[in-house]
Structure formats: structure tokens, C-alpha cells
Structure 1
């Protein structure tokens, strides 16, 4: 059994999509980041960076003791190696996949995250911040557009790299970026969205937030407070 410490954010959906794709048994442990669950000692013992997602594998391949892991990219690699799925054993393809996974971790995720912050949540209007991060996000979409010019997925087959990128790119409209300007990326988004496991992941994840919204307390927890 995999315990998935989750909140419905783009990073949270990455391992949830993988778990649905492979059918690994899992249970969700909601971490309400809008109410400060990420700072509770029990969660920090698993994820010292106080960010979701994190997992605890009760049946790791080696040793008969639970194994905890944080950082979504690392979790995806671990689960792929555990199951032998969505990460090729071919050396070249494997590292091409990891390369695009790292591209998401260091580029698409942080750039869209910052663009989203300055566009939707910053307490004051900072045009430079919005322009800087939205433009960099668009540049990265251009890189992806070129990669997809002669293929359906980022590498040879659907992989953890696609799972990592999809939850971020699918919500480009939130920062007023239109995927019509990137037709190959737009088709890729449609292709991933139609996968039954992806549909199930969002059906499982979306209700978890319930009625919790981004109020002043959530803003304080997410943007101001630093854990002691």
C-alpha cells in the first residue's frame, strides 16, 4: 500500500496519475495546505520541506520497513522503478525521459507557479513579475512545441515525463496563456486528458479540497509564514 500525502495541486496530481495508471494500491492522506497541515510534525517527519506530495511505501522492494519519500519528481522515478512501468529500461530512452522530467521540475513548474502567483495572488500588481514569468512559461511551451513536432509524447512513449508536465500545462488558461498558440502542445494536452487513468485521478482528487478556498488565512500560510 502506498500512502499518498496529497492536496489537489499540479504537483499533487503527478503521483496520483501514476498510481491510477498502474493500479498500485494506495490511500490518500489529505494535507490541507490552506489550513497549515504541511507544518504539522507528523507530516514534516515525512516531508521536511513542508510541501506536498509525499509518499510512504509500506511494502518497498528492499527491506521490510516503510519507505518515505518527498519531491514529486523523485516519487515518480521511484514508483516507475518499483513497477517497471513508464520509465524505459533502455539507457538512452530512460535518460531522455528523466531529462524531460527534470525540465518540468526546474522549468515548467516553477515558472508557471511564479506566473500564477503574480497573476492571481500577489497582494499588489507587479507588471514586471507577471511579464517575466508568463513570458518564460511561453518560451518553455515553445521548447515543448518543437519536441512534439514529430511525436505524440515527450519521449518515445507515454512516460512519467508526460505525467509530470500535464497537470501544469493543462491549466495554462489560469495565467491567460492560450494553447492555441502552441498547437502540438494543445493536441498533447487533449491526448493526455482523454486517458481513463488521468480522468480517474482528477475525479479522486478534486473533491478533496471541498469548500476550502484561498482566504486570508491560506494566503498567510502559503506566502508569508516560515516554519520555525
Structure 2
């Protein structure tokens, strides 16, 4: 059973339902929900104890992954899965944090390419490092070395990008 809590003391229906866990992919969604000032109910999905495989959760996301949001501001509500898709959906819906393609195509492209970099490179490699370095019962030195080396390389890329601007995107 999913543990449902809310981001404030009220249990009234909010604009969004947010399903997550204490992971970087979920934190990205918490940050954008906060930045946009959106009301949401938070539903903790304990992925360590396999709650993402319950029949109840699989009805929400058949791919059994968090994060997930359900937008209750439209009828019928829209379910959005995958952190990158959620970020783009919310930024476009509210016209914030993602430049308009007609008036700022260069800036929009920069934001989207760095988002793609985070989704396809930074996030997965750091996830593998976390798994092999901390959670895997059998330590595999070559895997830890590989992901540690790649993490250091990615942080150099990130530091280089941030040395010329206050934000990664633009």
C-alpha cells in the first residue's frame, strides 16, 4: 500500500499528486513544484520495499518507476512519468523555467540539451556509482572505479559550465 502524505497539513485535493521517494529524480520534481508554487499531495513510494511493483502503483505507472505526477487541473487528469518529461511538462504548462522557442530558441536549446545531459549521463552514472559503491552487497572494484572516474569527469564538465554562468541551462 502506498503511504500518502501531503506537503502541508491539509488533505484536500491539490492541483497535483506527486509519487516519489528520497531520490535525486524525485527531488528534481519537488524543486520545480516548489519553484512554481504548486499545491500537491505527496505519496511516498518505498522503492526499497518494492512498493513500485504493487498493483495499485502499476495502475499509475506500468513502468514501475518514480517519480510520477498526476495533474488534477485538467479533466480528465493527466499522468506524467519520467523526471525529464515531468520537468518539461510543468515548465511549459506554467510558462516558466524553460524559454520560449519562438523568442529565445538558443536559450531553450541550451536548457533542453543540459537537461538531456543530466537525464542520460549525469543521473544514470551517479546512480550506478551509488549502487555499486554503497548498496551492492558484493563490492565490484572495477565498477566502482569506472563510475567514480566518470563522476569526476562529469563534475569537471559541470564545474566548467558553471564557471561562466549562474545556472547550468543558460
Q: TM-score range by the shorter chain?
A: 0.7 to 0.9
1:78 matched to 2:58? The reply is no
- Match of 2:10? none
- Match of 2:112? 98
- Match of 1:112? 126
Q: Unpaired segments of 5 or more residues in structure 1?
A: 157-228
Helix, strand or coil for the counterpart of 1:45? helix
CA distance in 2, matches of 1:118, 1:109: 14
Choose from 139, 144, 149 the match for 1:135. 149
Q: Which structure carries more relative contact order (alpha carbon 8 Å, separation 6+)?
A: 1
- Match of 1:159? none
The question of whether the paired residues in 2 share the 8 Å contact of 1:11 and 1:53 is answered with yes
Q: Where do 4+ consecutive residues of structure 1 move more than 6 Å?
A: none
TM-score (norm 2): 0.86
Displacement after TM superposition at 1:155 (Å)? 2.7
- Match of 2:46? 32
Q: Residues 5-61 of structure 1: CA distance to partner in whole angstroms, max 9, x if unpaired? A: 01111111111111111111111111111222101122112222211100110113x
Q: Residues 107-137 of structure 1: CA distance to partner in whole angstroms, max 9, x if unpaired? A: 1111011111111111212110000011111
- Match of 1:2? 16
Q: Which has the higher helix share?
A: 1
CA distance in 2, matches of 1:105, 1:46: 22
State how 1:159-178 maps to structure 2 within 5 Å. Answer: none
Helix, strand or coil for the counterpart of 1:4? strand
Q: Which has the higher strand share?
A: 2
1:23 matched to 2:34? The reply is no
CA distance in 2, matches of 1:138, 1:132: 10
TM-score (norm 1): 0.65
The question of whether the paired residues in 2 share the 8 Å contact of 1:11 and 1:52 is answered with yes
Q: Unpaired segments of 5 or more residues in structure 2?
A: 1-14
